């Protein structure tokens, strides 16, 4: 489960000398000893179990709870418990030792006892300090382990969920699950729970100590102070509980707004929306500010009030106790010890109430995370799903109906046979449902009625991974990841040789572009591929598809951002790419559609015409009109 040291493997060169001219090729021998020493001090990083399978949802997502999260680390929890008990006990030795020091040392003029008490006091302080340090270390380790497990689980779940989840939930809100919700839990595990135990135990110990000093004084304390303190604490608990819910909700809004404006930065700049966005963000952060001020105000009332009650109580008890000392019912040492313990009695009450809020925040984060981890992907792999063997590529749609919202179908009763190796173009007006049909074929969504077959097998009966391996998609706006261009090109086939990459570059006409880049294939592409033009990004996506060699290819306006020269340059590449494969082209330009064996005209979610270009032009239907408009526009442009 554990590896010797994080990142150690990269440095275990056994003192190999750096190759000349390559300063970072290895660790220089004179530094190896220091590196080994450093690695020994590195903490062990447990390897979280990474299991990703479409058909295996999070096994414990619906039952997520604090208890289950810490259960794998029970031995560390036990150890922390021992340190907590030790800390709570030794903390309370002080007042008792003070009493002995005063009564048996100072009053009795016994310097030996006084020295002994002083030494014992020192030892108790050292033990408290050591126990505290050990407890913090162990709880810190537990929190780090649990958080690491949880982060991997949440990320794996996010990879598993279907596209519908991402259209229904704001990216920023999903981010808060990974940031503030997990951080809340971290705080709870690292300090909260242990403090809860320390303070709880302290209260019990102090109550017992107060009663052993003097039963009457202890009873007076409980009758006089506890009801007032309880009432105040109940108010605080309710008020701050509400306050923290507001804080949590408003921070989610702040992150959501920030993430959206970062993603839409181009549109914001182009439409001069900066001022509007700044004002909007000010309002959103204003609500967060208000929520924080509110909780601050509640804290500012509670903490000093409890202190005033504490001091008033101590004063009253000092007066009562002084009388008892005068009457000879109590020694001075006992009174001082009682008053000291009284101080330690108020603090845990105050802290416990505040900690309860940390606990509540952690619990509400657990609820949110549980919702996320127990969400079932809308496109779910059937338990008996089988690996799809290498397909010929025949695709059949049988009476397919689908709507993103169940009561608003965007595809109605569509039936279509696409032969293996055939190229079919989907054309039709904006919003007709062309891309939706393509998404159904790749099983990004499942039809609400009807079925889709590939080589005679229902898509729902095959394993999703084996299906997607054989279906390549080149989207209109391909996404490039921050990192070397090479990795982006080999996205679907990571162990591709440089020769194959070069061939792909040549075929799609990217050679010139790569040659112009400062580091060629190793040039680092910025996030989302912002440092490349949109046409170049489309070429990268075509190269990806070329390397993946899928049996079925879906090109969603895949060449729409290329100029005519580039498009004609890759025409041959496209022919090579489509050769022998089943292909679906979603086309706005009829010049692209004309390349297809058959054209499918989609309108308002239905197929209205199917046929070869010449047939459809002659049919005097929807396509004839589209073609007439297109030719007249082309003539005008000419």
Ligand X SMILES: Nc1ncnc2c1ncn2[C@@H]1O[C@H](COP(=O)(O)OP(=O)(O)OP(=O)(O)O)[C@@H](O)[C@H]1O
Considering only 31, 147, 158, 410, the residue that binds ligand X (CB under 6 A) is: 410
Distance of alpha carbon 367 from alpha carbon 359, whole angstroms: 12
Contact 489, 506 (CB under 8 A): no
| Count of CA atoms in the C-beta half-sphere (13 A) of 228 | 15
CB of 592 to ligand X, least distance (A): 13
Binder among 121, 359, 404, 444 for ligand X (CB under 6 A): 404
Phi, psi values for residue 519, rounded to 5°: -115, 25
User: From the list 2, 41, 75, 167, which residue makes contact with ligand X (rule: CB under 6 A)?
Assistant: 167
Q: Which of 271-279, 333-341, 353-361, 428-436 is the region at the interface with ligand X (rule: CB under 6 A)? A: 428-436
Answer for which of 7, 431, 520, 580 binds ligand X (CB under 6 A) is 431
Pairing of strands 524-525, 552-556: unpaired
Indicate the length of the chain as a whole number.
Answer: 638
In this complex, which beta carbon is closest to ligand X, that of residue 370 or of residue 588? 588
Distances (CA, A) of 595 to 142, 422, 439, 553, 572: 61, 11, 22, 15, 12
Segment near ligand X (CB under 6 A), from 66-74, 243-251, 433-441, 505-513?
433-441
Local structure of 552: helix, strand or coil: strand
Selected from 185, 229, 395, 432, the binder of ligand X by CB under 6 A is: 432
CB 602, min distance to ligand X, A: 6
* Shortest separation between residue 431's beta carbon and ligand X, angstroms: 4
Interface with ligand X (CB under 6 A), residue from 436, 442, 559, 592: 436
Binding to ligand X in span 445-474, by CB under 6 A: none
Judge contact between 181 and 368, C-beta under 8 A. Answer: yes
Which C-beta is closer to ligand X: that of 405 or that of 614? 405
Q: How many CB atoms lie within 10 A of CB 530?
A: 12
Question: CA 87, CA 133: separation in Å to the nearest integer?
Answer: 10
Contact 319, 84 (CB under 8 A): no
406 binds ligand X per the rule CB under 6 A: no
CA 144/CA 141 separation, integer angstroms:
5
Q: Which is nearer to ligand X, 142 or 471 (CB)?
A: 471
Which one, 241 or 475, has the nearer CB to ligand X? 475
CB of 429 to ligand X, least distance (A): 7
Residue with tokens 């790419």: 577
In the bound state with ligand X, the residue whose beta carbon lies nearer, of 201 and 601, is 601
Residue 430 sits in the site that holds ligand X (CB under 6 A): yes
Q: Pattern of binders to ligand X over 3-22, x per CB under 6 A?
A: --------------------
* Strand residue runs (E) in 176-231: none
Question: Which CB atom, from 166 or from 289, has the smaller least distance to ligand X?
Answer: 166
Task: From 258-266, 289-297, 373-381, 430-438, give the range in contact with ligand X by CB under 6 A.
Answer: 430-438
Q: Which of 192, 377, 433, 529 binds ligand X (CB under 6 A)?
A: 433
Residue 153 found at the interface with ligand X (CB under 6 A): no
**Cβ neighbourhood burial of 449 (10 Å; 0-12, 13-18, 19+):** middle
Nearer of residues 167 and 272 to ligand X, judged by Cβ:
167
Cα distance between residue 600 and residue 604, in whole Å:
13
Instruction: Between 304 and 431, name the residue whose CB sits nearer to ligand X.
Output: 431
Nearer to ligand X, 65 or 625 (CB): 625
Structure tokens at 430: 């904006």
User: Which residue's structure tokens are 């109580």?
Assistant: 313
β-pairing, 582-586 vs 552-556, is parallel
Using alpha carbons, select from 269, 397, 333 the residue that is nearest to residue 103.
333
The yes or no reply on residue 66 touching ligand X (CB under 6 A) is no
Burial class (CB in 10 A: 0-12, 13-18, 19+), 112: exposed
**What minimum distance in Å lies between the beta carbon of 596 and ligand X?**
16
| 434 forms part of the interface with ligand X (CB under 6 A) | yes
- Catalog residues that contact ligand X under the rule CB under 6 A: 167, 404, 410, 428, 430-436
């Amino acid at each position: 489960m554990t590896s010797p040291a994080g990142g150690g493997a990269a440095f275990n060169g056994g003192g190999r000398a750096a190759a000349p001219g390559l300063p970072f090729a290895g660790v220089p021998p004179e530094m190896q000893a220091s590196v080994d020493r450093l690695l020994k001090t590195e903490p062990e990083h447990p390897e979280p179990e990474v299991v990703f399978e479409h058909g295996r949802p999070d096994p414990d997502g619906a039952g997520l709870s604090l208890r289950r999260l810490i259960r794998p680390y029970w031995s560390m929890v036990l150890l922390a418990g021992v340190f907590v008990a030790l800390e709570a006990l030794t903390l309370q030795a002080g007042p008792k030792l003070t009493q002995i020091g005063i009564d048996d040392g100072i009053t009795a003029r016994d310097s030996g006892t006084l020295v002994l008490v002083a030494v014992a006091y020192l030892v108790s302080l050292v033990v408290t300090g050591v126990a505290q340090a050990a407890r913090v270390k162990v709880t810190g380790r537990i929190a780090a382990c649990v958080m690491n497990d949880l982060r991997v689980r949440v990320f794996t779940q996010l990879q598993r969920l279907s596209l519908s989840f991402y259209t229904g939930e704001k990216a920023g809100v999903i981010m808060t699950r990974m940031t503030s919700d997990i951080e809340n839990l971290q705080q709870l595990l690292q300090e909260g729970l242990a403090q809860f135990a320390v303070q709880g135990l302290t209260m019990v110990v102090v109550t017992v100590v107060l009663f052993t000093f003097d039963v009457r004084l202890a009873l007076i304390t409980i009758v006089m102070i506890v009801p007032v303190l309880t009432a105040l604490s109940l108010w605080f608990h309710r008020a701050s509980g509400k306050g923290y819910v507001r804080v949590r909700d408003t921070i989610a809004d702040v992150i959501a707004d920030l993430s959206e404006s970062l993603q839409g930065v181009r549109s914001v700049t182009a439409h001069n929306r900066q001022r509007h966005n700044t004002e909007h963000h000010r309002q959103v952060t204003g609500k967060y500010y208000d929520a924080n001020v509110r909780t601050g105000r509640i804290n500012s009332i509670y903490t000093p009030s409890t202190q005033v009650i504490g001091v008033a109580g101590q004063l009253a008890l000092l007066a009562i106790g002084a009388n008892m000392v005068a009457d000879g019912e109590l020694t001075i040492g006992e009174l001082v010890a009682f008053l000291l313990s009284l101080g330690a009695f108020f603090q845990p009450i105050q802290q416990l109430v505040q900690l309860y809020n940390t606990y509540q925040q952690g619990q509400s984060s657990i609820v949110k995370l549980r919702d996320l981890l127990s969400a079932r992907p809308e496109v779910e792999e059937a338990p008996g799903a089988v690996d799809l063997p290498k397909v010929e590529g025949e695709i059949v749609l049988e009476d397919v109906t689908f709507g993103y919202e169940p009561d608003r179908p965007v595809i109605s009763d569509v039936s279509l046979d696409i032969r293996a190796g055939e190229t079919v173009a989907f054309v039709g007006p904006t919003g007709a449902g062309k891309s939706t049909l393509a998404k159904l074929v790749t099983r990004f969504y499942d039809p609400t009625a009807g079925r889709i077959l590939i080589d005679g097998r229902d898509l729902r009966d095959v394993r999703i991974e084996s299906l997607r391996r054989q279906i390549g998609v080149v989207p209109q706006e391909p996404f490039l990841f921050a990192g070397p261009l090479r990795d982006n090109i080999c996205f679907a086939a990571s162990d591709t040789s440089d020769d194959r990459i070069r061939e792909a570059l040549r075929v799609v006409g990217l050679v010139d572009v790569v040659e112009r880049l400062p580091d060629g294939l190793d040039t680092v592409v910025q996030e989302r591929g912002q440092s490349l033009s949109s046409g170049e990004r489309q070429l990268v996506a075509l190269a990806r598809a070329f390397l993946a060699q899928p049996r079925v290819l879906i090109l969603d306006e895949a060449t729409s951002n290329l100029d005519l020269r580039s498009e004609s340059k890759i025409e041959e590449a496209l022919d090579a790419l489509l050769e022998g494969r089943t292909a679906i082209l979603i086309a706005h330009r009829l010049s692209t559609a004309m390349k297809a064996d058959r054209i499918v005209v989609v309108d308002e979610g239905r197929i209205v015409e199917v046929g070869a270009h010449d047939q459809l032009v002659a049919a005097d239907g929807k396509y004839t009109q589209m073609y007439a408009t297109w030719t007249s526009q082309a003539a005008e442009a000419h």
